[in-house]
Amino acid sequence: MDQWLEEIRAALPELVVYQQEPMKKHTTFRVGGSADLYVCPKKQELPVILGLAKKKGLAVTVIGNGSNLLVGDKGIRGLVIEVGAQMNAVEVQGNILRAQAGALLSQVATKAAAAGLGGMEFAAGIPGSMGGAVTMNAGAYGGEMKDVIRQVTVLTPECEQKVLSREELNLSYRHSCIPKNHFLVLEAELSLTPAPEQEIRAKMAELREKRVEKQPLEYPSAGSTFKRPEGYFAGKLIMDAGLRGYAVGDAQVSEKHCGFVINRGNATAAEILQLMKDVQERVKKQSGVTLEPEVKMIGEF
């Protein structure tokens, strides 16, 4: 690790490398131990960082906005790369919008609206970034990323850039080919539909109101905790199992929306994980349905 630090500082003197960086600062759950090393690089710095990490046998974890993550209390060994503020450019040409992987979905939706392009309204309130949204085919209110993606540029494990078409991404409910192939999303190209800006903004405002009304946005969470089981709604199954408000320490099933696990202030990752297991067991016993986590767990618990 020390050797990697020495060499990366020589190769990229402007890159800021944080040591023992608390991951609770970088996840919407506001929990998690420290990362050994943490960087937020520019696009052109990625091949150098990844190449050196591979050469030194340093474990690498890539994150975006941290909105769908549960990081273990013991933190993350090796290097965490945040594809974020240094990679968030958004540009529009005709009905095509290009967004780097670190661009927030809210930023992308606003830019699309200003250009009179519809199709991203569903994503305006999702607290994630473009890279994560593409990787898990994020969706809400009847819309999904697969509805608007034209193509995506990724970095392969060999640090080569590759352009994948929508078909090649193999997008389905909360799924793409990206994790399996260990690709890193660099940029997405979206094909949007011209529409009056006023209508687009009205739709975004309507969906924002729905979120505020129905979701526990006043507490840290990772959004919907479980995937939607076919033919069911996770929140209703959890509510029907009598788990509204169920808590383990400061982790709690939201009373406002049972599909959300919230951090009431000082929850640990262990408490959240235990609560999720309890919910899965109770729902399975009550309804026979197996709930799959939508939240991705990383690090050491």
Examine the residue annotation and report whether 174 is marked as an active-site residue of this protein.
Answer: yes
103 burial (CB, 10 Å; 0-12 / 13-18 / 19+) is buried
E strands of the chain, at which residues? 18-22, 34-39, 60-63, 69-71, 76-82, 90-93, 96-100, 117-118, 139-140, 143-144, 149-155, 161-165, 184-191, 193-194, 221-224, 247-248, 251-253, 260-263, 296-298
Q: Which of 174, 211, 244, 282 is catalytic?
A: 174
> With contact defined as beta carbons under 8 Å apart, do 84 and 65 qualify?
yes
Name the active-site residue from 67, 129, 221, 224: 224
Sign of CA dihedral 266, 76, 234, 219: positive
144 classed as catalytic: no
One-letter amino acid for residue 287 of the chain = S
Cα–Cα–Cα angle for 177, 173, 181, rounded to 5 degrees: 10
Q: Is 224 a catalytic residue?
A: yes
Sign of the torsion angle spanned by Cα atoms 180, 133, 232, 241: positive
Mind telling me the catalytic residues? 174, 224, 294
